[in-house]
């Protein structure tokens, strides 16, 4: 038997204030800056404050709208961020119009533009009824459309079929236009967090056969929505008031790996004991709920966040159905801080079960 690597690992950690989000604004608000030579795609990083407008204008005088920046090392891009614009100007490959005053998108604005691949309209005032559907439909090369932090009330229909990422977080979206996704077979990422969705009906996500990441956090769901695309591997549902989780709440996914259910008001009596026994799961976030017991998780789970609950008991069977040379939990990170549990309460067998826990996070119980 391999030597146990659990010697000095302490499991539970002292209360720490709310953990900071790793993703932050970069994840959906940033501007592509560099082209990744291998993928041919820009990487998403904020450009603000990095560019001297006068220098770029002097070096790249042709075809750059007066109010915008056109980086010389990337001749097909136009940056018009934070310029109080009310109409987008069009570049060839990439347009960034973040933090302007754009409320409408007309087809004439993009009429002469072909080959547009990125269109970034975060932090504007876009309204669904002022979005000319034909404006985007002809952009057959468009892969990345970002309109986070706008005033959209529905997911637009007639989006171009080649889209790979659609980011519509923090709008007022309460409906999905019929057939909005029916042609989006290449979409892998869909951000809809911070909206007002209450239900998902059977046809809503039809067509999303490659969707990998779906963020529905911070909406108005009262139960786990049905009819989600089976291909989803990362499902984020935090900040919804979910009344209960049934045994089949997450059935139907082919390869669910990352599941986030933080701040959902979950209570142990309403959570089916087997709901998380999903063998593909890698990460499960149940922090900031009202759980009193630790639910059963698969031994293959590697990251479990349970901080800020009301957990009072620790039963090793939550992690290991049996313990042996090859039967142990693959858990690397387990957060149990901010619960009602003390180190003295841990049963002696936990060390044999949780033998690969990572030391770098301080799992120390007071």
Ligand X SMILES: *[C@@H]1O[C@H](CO)[C@@H](O)[C@H](O)[C@H]1NC(C)=O
Where does this chain bind ligand X (CB under 6 A)?
84, 86, 101, 103, 107-108, 111-112, 134, 138, 161-162, 186, 193, 217-218, 238-239, 263, 265, 274, 277, 279, 290, 296, 315, 317, 321
Q: Please, what is the minimum distance in Å from the beta carbon of residue 128 to ligand X?
A: 16
Its sign, for the CA torsion 198, 158, 211, 144, is negative
Q: What is the DSSP letter of 7?
A: T
Least separation in angstroms between CB 135 and ligand X: 6
- Angstrom CA distances, 118 to 53, 141, 215, 242, stand at 21, 9, 20, 35
**Cross-strand pairs, 146:** 120, 167
Cα(300)–Cα(332) distance, integer angstroms:
10
Position of minimal CB gap to ligand X: 162
Q: How many residues can be counted in the chain?
A: 366
Report the residue number, 178 or 347, with the smaller CB distance to ligand X.
Answer: 347
Burial of 36 (0-12, 13-18, 19+ CB in 10 A): exposed
Distance CA 172, CA 147 (A): 12
Quick one: 30 or 218, whose CB is closer to ligand X? 218
Q: Which is nearer to ligand X, 155 or 237 (CB)?
A: 237
CB atoms within 10 A of CB 232: 26
14: left (phi over 0), alpha (psi -120 to 50) or beta: beta
Q: How far is the CB of 282 from ligand X (least distance, A)?
A: 15
Q: Which C-beta is closer to ligand X: that of 138 or that of 302?
A: 138
Nearest approach in angstroms of CB 56 to ligand X is 21
Q: What is the largest CA-CA distance in the chain?
A: 73
Q: Which tokens hold the place of 210?
A: 């490659």
DSSP 8-state class, residue 164? S
Which lies closer to ligand X via its Cβ, residue 139 or residue 154? 139
- The distance of closest approach from Cβ of residue 133 to ligand X in the complex, given in angstroms and rounded to an integer, is 9
Smallest separation (angstroms) from ligand X to the CB of 216: 10
Q: Which of 145, 148, 208 is nearest to 172 (CA)?
A: 148
**The residue to which tokens 């313990």 are assigned:** 323
Query: How far, in whole angstroms, is CA 104 from its chain's centroid?
Result: 26
To ligand X, the closest distance from the beta carbon of 290 in angstroms equals 4
Report DSSP state, residue 213.
Answer: E
Return the number of the residue (201 or 317) whose C-beta is nearest ligand X. 317
154 vs 219, beta carbon nearer ligand X: 219
Residue 327 CB, nearest approach to ligand X (Å): 13
CA–CA distances in Å: residue 37 to residues 96, 117, 119, 186? 20, 16, 20, 21
Q: Which is nearer to ligand X, 75 or 265 (CB)?
A: 265
């Amino acid at each position: 038997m391999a030597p146990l690597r659990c010697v000095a690992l302490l499991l539970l950690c002292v209360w720490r204030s709310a953990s900071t989000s790793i993703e932050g604004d970069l994840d959906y608000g940033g501007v592509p800056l560099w082209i990744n030579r291998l993928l041919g795609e820009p990487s998403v990083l904020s450009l603000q404050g990095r560019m001297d407008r006068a220098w770029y204008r002097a070096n790249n005088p042709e075809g750059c709208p007066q109010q915008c920046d056109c980086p010389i090392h990337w001749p097909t891009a136009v940056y018009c961020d934070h310029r109080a614009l009310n109409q987008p100007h069009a570049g060839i490959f990439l347009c960034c119009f973040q933090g302007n005053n754009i409320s409408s998108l007309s087809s004439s604005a993009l009429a002469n533009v072909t080959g547009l691949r990125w269109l970034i309209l975060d932090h504007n005032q876009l309204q669904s009824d002022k979005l000319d559907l034909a404006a985007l439909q002809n952009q057959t090369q468009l892969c990345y459309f970002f309109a986070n932090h706008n005033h959209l009330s529905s997911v637009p229909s007639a989006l171009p079929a080649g889209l790979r990422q659609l980011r519509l977080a923090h709008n007022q979206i309460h409906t999905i236009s019929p057939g909005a996704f029916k042609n989006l077979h290449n979409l892998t990422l869909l951000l809809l967090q911070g909206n007002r969705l209450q239900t998902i009906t059977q046809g809503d996500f039809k067509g999303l056969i490659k969707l990998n990441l779906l963020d529905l956090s911070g909406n108005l769901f009262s139960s786990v929505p049905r009819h989600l695309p089976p291909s989803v591997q990362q499902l984020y549902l935090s900040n919804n008031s979910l009344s209960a989780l049934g045994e089949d709440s997450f059935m139907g996914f082919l390869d669910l790996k990352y599941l986030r259910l933080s701040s959902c008001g979950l209570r142990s009596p309403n959570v089916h004991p087997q709901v998380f026994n999903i063998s593909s799961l890698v990460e499960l976030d149940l922090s900031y709920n009202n759980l009193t017991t630790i639910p059963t998780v698969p031994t293959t789970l590697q990251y479990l966040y349970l901080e800020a609950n009301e957990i009072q008991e620790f039963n090793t069977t939550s992690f290991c159905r049996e313990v042996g040379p090859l039967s142990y939990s693959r858990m690397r990170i387990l957060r149990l801080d901010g619960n009602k549990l003390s180190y003295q309460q841990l049963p002696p067998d936990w060390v044999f079960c949780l033998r690969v826990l990572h030391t770098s996070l301080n799992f120390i119980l007071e």
